[in-house]
């Protein structure tokens, strides 16, 4: 009896200490459930061109209406969300992977490696990513979802590199690293077994940031029409909506729902990253 | 400021420009396919065949310098860039790329400069008021609002604004830089017309940026207000307004400028996309037209011009820094 109330109080304590983190994770969980379970519950044929009567506003049989090509917007939305999330995750994971490796190498080994990596990442950060992405995407004929993720990842690795590098620089001077080095533990093994595990909170925070940046870049590219041609994604729904004048014709049910979902993704990621900052830096927490 | 600082910053500028130009040169040549052949194929498609065009293709290749070895093309590219020659637009031949860009530039600069300025000033002021203890309580309401706003990209805000302010309540025009009817002249009617068309895009940029400026300023003010010299100042009996302006605001302005410099690329990209949403006749619209028509030279020209101008702008801001904070020039990087 006593332990039940104590664990209940512990849970509330978590929510009160990390309000932003809980809210952010809740939103992301909601979107994840929608993305994973949604496609299993709807009939994918409803998202094909000419499936239903075009341009009908939301009604009983089409909860979000249809677009100018006769696609059911709700079905399209359910199929588009997991695609957008896939692009963001691919880009985030690849960008984080590259960033972690480069940041570790630069921070731990220093010297010439550090100078090269640092100059590269600092100069590439100043080039607005979307411009290079436009260049790359415009030159490719067809872009698949996976290719889009790889393209976006190429410009997502700079921030994680910087963050991991500065953390590695700090960790390198810690006592247990010095001791391990004196014990004769080699460079690579040292990095993998001693430094890397202590970087996990920063890697997690960088991951959220990388995914957030990836979604931003993806939606930006898609609004210009440079997204995947053969799959529906949230950004492309908005692009086609704009292309067919949905905004000017007041067809809010076409571009509205993808927009709301994108905003939810952004807000969820923002809250999670703010919450992670308070998780890492205990001074930023609210006293429970 | 020290020569070392100047040289370092200039060196960084040169590296970025070189990288941008090289990427711009290499990327299109990495993909298979030749723009000239593609052009001919497109023309053949629309006019029903042309017979033997190999001689014409060779001719155009020689004219555009595409038959020379790659390193020679690279040097030629640099040469033409120094002459500010970005080539010809593939779609609107024989219009030059630089002419297309220059015709759109005033619109973009006007929109960007004003909305960035307004957003920065308003956001900074609001943020500093939000941090000041004797402000009205109601201001704290804005904190979550700004957090929400700062997470939404400008162009998505633009879509929402267009819907509500131009379609549902027809207060402002939904698209374009000026109305189709009417003649452009130096009169009040034209100016009001231009302003009314620019309001929605500017509003999108301002609202999109104000959140992050305000929250950043607020955070810095809060930490500055905890400093000892603020307590000393109020103990000395200085007026609240003096402390706010000269001790609080001034100290926080430098980091705000740093954020401005860092966010410049992001703001410009956001503004470009806003122009796409509103069909505002700036660089953004030219870019999407070029993308839709596969006008590679224009796309490359715009991307290169934007990258280089952003780098030059950041270099200029770097030069202004030591004037604001003399410590920076003497600090070893």
Number of domains in chain A: 1
Most confident by average pLDDT, A129-133, A258-262, B265-269: A258-262
Which value does ipTM take for this structure?
0.78
Contacting residues of A for B108, CB less than 8 Å apart = none
Most confident by average pLDDT, A60-74, A80-94, B160-174, B308-322: A80-94
Contact between A128 and B306 using a beta-carbon 8 Å cutoff: yes
In chain A, what are the helix, strand and coil shares in percent, each to the nearest 5? 75, 0, 25
Q: Domain for residue A15, yes or no? A: no
Instruction: State how far the Cα of B197 lies from the Cα of B52, in Å rounded to an integer.
Output: 50
Checking if the pLDDT of B131 tops 60, the result is: yes
Place of tokens 């100016």: B191
B53: CB partners within 8 A, 6+ apart: B40, B44
Report yes or no: A42 and A9 within 8 Å, Cβ to Cβ: no
Instruction: State how far the Cα of A72 lies from the Cα of B131, in Å rounded to an integer.
Output: 48
Identify which has the larger pLDDT, A269 or A64: A269
Integer CA distances (angstroms), B267 to A56, A227, A286, B119, in order: 37, 21, 32, 11
pLDDT given for residue A9 in this prediction: 52
Q: Domain for residue A67, yes or no? A: yes
Q: Is B134 helix (H, G, I), strand (E, B) or coil?
A: coil
Q: Closest residue of A to B285, CA-based?
A: A224
pLDDT over 90 for what percent of chain B? 1
Nearest to A223 among B15, B273, B314 (CB): B273
Q: Which of the residue ranges A89-98, B30-39, B86-95 would you say has the lowest mean pLDDT?
A: B30-39
Report yes or no: B58 and B37 within 8 Å, Cβ to Cβ: no
Instruction: State how far the Cα of B150 lies from the Cα of B209, in Å rounded to an integer.
Output: 6
Contacting residues of A for B156, CB less than 8 Å apart = 219, 238, 259, 262-263
B277: CB partners within 8 A, 6+ apart: A223, A242, A247, B155, B158, B159, B162, B201, B204
Q: How confident is the model at residue B97 (pLDDT cuts 50, 70, 90)?
A: confident
CATH number, position A160? 1.10.3720.10
pLDDT given for residue B49 in this prediction: 63
Distance (Å) from the alpha carbon of B174 to chain A's nearest alpha carbon:
7
Structure tokens at A7: 């664990």
Evaluate the CA torsion angle B147, B152, B157, B160 in order and state its sign: negative
Nearest to A130 among B269, B292, B294 (CB): B269
Q: Domain for residue A20, yes or no? A: no
Q: Domain for residue A2, yes or no? A: no
Checking if the pLDDT of A286 tops 60, the result is: no
Report yes or no: B208 and A266 within 8 Å, Cβ to Cβ: no
Instruction: State how far the Cα of A210 lies from the Cα of A276, in Å rounded to an integer.
Output: 14
Tens digits of residue pLDDT in A126-168: 777 777 777 777 777 677 888 888 888 888 888 888 888 888 8
Mutate to test the interface with B, among A20, A115, A127 (most CBs of B within 10 A): A127
Q: How confident is the model at residue B182 (pLDDT cuts 50, 70, 90)?
A: low
Q: Domain for residue A17, yes or no? A: no
Checking if the pLDDT of B54 tops 80, the result is: no
Q: How confident is the model at residue A93 (pLDDT cuts 50, 70, 90)?
A: very high
Report yes or no: B221 and B132 within 8 Å, Cβ to Cβ: yes
Domain spans in chain B, listed from the N-terminal domain onward: 97-324
Instruction: State how far the Cα of A88 lies from the Cα of A86, in Å rounded to an integer.
Output: 5
Q: Which of the residue ranges A88-97, A100-109, A116-125, A278-287 would you say has the lowest mean pLDDT?
A: A278-287
Q: Closest residue of A to B24, CA-based?
A: A135
Angle at B44 between CA B34 and CA A144, to 5 degrees: 50
Place of tokens 């379970």: A37
Place of tokens 């972690």: A100
Instruction: State how far the Cα of B36 lies from the Cα of B56, in Å rounded to an integer.
Output: 10
- Superfamily of domain B97-324 in CATH is MetI-like (1.10.3720.10)
A116 touches chain B (CB under 8 A): no
Contact between B265 and A262 using a beta-carbon 8 Å cutoff: no
Category of A283 on φ-ψ map: left (φ > 0), alpha (ψ -120 to 50) or beta: alpha
Nearest to B87 by CA among B130, B25, B139, B138: B25
Integer CA distances (angstroms), B44 to A72, B48, B187, B237, B258, in order: 38, 5, 48, 83, 53
Q: Domain for residue A21, yes or no? A: no
Contacting residues of A for B287, CB less than 8 Å apart = 134, 224
Identify whether B94 is preceded by a cis peptide bond (ω within 30 of 0).
yes
Contact between B156 and A225 using a beta-carbon 8 Å cutoff: no
pLDDT given for residue A94 in this prediction: 92
pLDDT given for residue B48 in this prediction: 65
Instruction: State how far the Cα of B213 lies from the Cα of B125, in Å rounded to an integer.
Output: 9
Structure tokens at A207: 């991951």
Q: Is B96 helix (H, G, I), strand (E, B) or coil?
A: strand
Distance (Å) from the alpha carbon of A259 to chain B's nearest alpha carbon:
7
pLDDT given for residue B298 in this prediction: 84
């Amino acid at each position: 009896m006593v332990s039940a109330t104590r664990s209940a109080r512990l849970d509330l304590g978590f929510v009160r200490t990390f309000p932003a983190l809980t809210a952010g994770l809740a939103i992301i969980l909601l979107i994840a459930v929608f993305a994973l379970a949604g496609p299993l519950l709807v009939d994918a044929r409803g998202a094909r061109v000419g499936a239903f009567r075009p341009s009908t506003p939301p009604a009983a049989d089409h909860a979000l209406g249809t677009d100018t090509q006769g696609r059911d917007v709700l079905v399209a939305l359910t199929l588009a969300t997991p695609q957008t999330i896939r692009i963001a995750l691919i880009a985030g994971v690849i960008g984080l992977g590259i960033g972690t490796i480069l940041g570790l190498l630069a921070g731990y080994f220093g010297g010439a490696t550090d100078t090269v990596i640092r100059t590269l990442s600092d100069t590439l950060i100043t080039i607005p990513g979307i411009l290079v992405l436009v260049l790359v995407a415009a030159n490719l004929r067809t872009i698949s979802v996976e290719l889009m993720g790889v393209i976006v990842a190429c410009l997502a690795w700079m921030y994680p590199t910087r963050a991991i590098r500065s953390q590695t620089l700090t960790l390198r001077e810690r006592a247990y690293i010095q001791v391990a080095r004196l014990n004769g533990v080699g460079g690579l093994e040292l990095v993998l077994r001693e430094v890397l595990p202590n970087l996990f909170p920063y890697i997690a925070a960088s991951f959220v940031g990388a995914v957030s940046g990836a979604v931003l870049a993806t939606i930006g590219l898609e609004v210009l029409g440079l997204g995947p041609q053969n799959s529906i994604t949230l950004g492309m729904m908005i692009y086609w909506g704009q292309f067919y004048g949905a905004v000017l014709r007041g067809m809010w049910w076409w571009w509205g729902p993808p927009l709301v979902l994108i905003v939810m993704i952004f807000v969820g990621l923002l809250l999670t990253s703010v919450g992670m900052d308070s998780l890492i830096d205990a001074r930023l927490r609210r006293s429970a | 400021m020290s020569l070392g600082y100047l040289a370092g910053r200039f060196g960084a500028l040169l590296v970025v420009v070189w990288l941008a130009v090289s990427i711009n040169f290499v990327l299109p040549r990495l993909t298979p396919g030749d723009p000239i052949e593609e052009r001919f194929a497109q023309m053949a498609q629309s006019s029903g065949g042309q017979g033997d065009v190999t001689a014409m293709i060779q001719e155009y290749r020689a004219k555009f310098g595409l038959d020379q070895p790659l390193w020679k093309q690279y040097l030629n590219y640099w040469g033409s860039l120094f002459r500010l020659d970005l080539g010809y637009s593939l779609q609107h031949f024989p219009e030059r790329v630089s002419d297309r860009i220059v015709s759109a530039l005033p619109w973009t600069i006007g929109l960007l400069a004003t909305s960035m300025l307004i957003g920065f000033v308003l956001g900074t002021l609001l943020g500093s008021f939000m941090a000041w203890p004797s402000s009205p309580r109601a201001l704290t309401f804005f904190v979550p609002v700004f957090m929400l706003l700062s997470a939404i990209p400008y162009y998505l805000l633009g879509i929402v604004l267009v819907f509500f302010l131009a379609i549902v309540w027809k207060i402002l025009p939904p698209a374009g830089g000026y109305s189709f009817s009417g003649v452009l002249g130096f009169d009040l009617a034209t100016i009001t017309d231009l302003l009314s068309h620019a309001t929605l895009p500017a509003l999108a940029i301002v609202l999109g940026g104000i959140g992050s400026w305000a929250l950043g300023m607020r955070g810095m003010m809060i930490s500055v207000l905890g400093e000892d010299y603020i307590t000393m100042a109020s103990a000395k009996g200085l007026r609240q307004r003096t402390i706010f302006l000269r001790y609080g605001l001034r100290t926080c302005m430098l980091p705000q400028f740093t954020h401005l410099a860092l966010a410049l690329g992001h703001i410009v990209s956001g503004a470009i996309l806003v122009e796409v949403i509103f069909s505002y006749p700036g660089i953004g619209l030219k870019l999407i037209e070029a993308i839709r028509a596969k006008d590679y030279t224009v796309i490359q020209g715009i991307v290169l011009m934007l990258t280089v101008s952003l780098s030059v702008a950041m270099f200029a801001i770097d030069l202004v820094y030591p004037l604001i904070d003399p410590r920076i020039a003497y600090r070893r990087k």
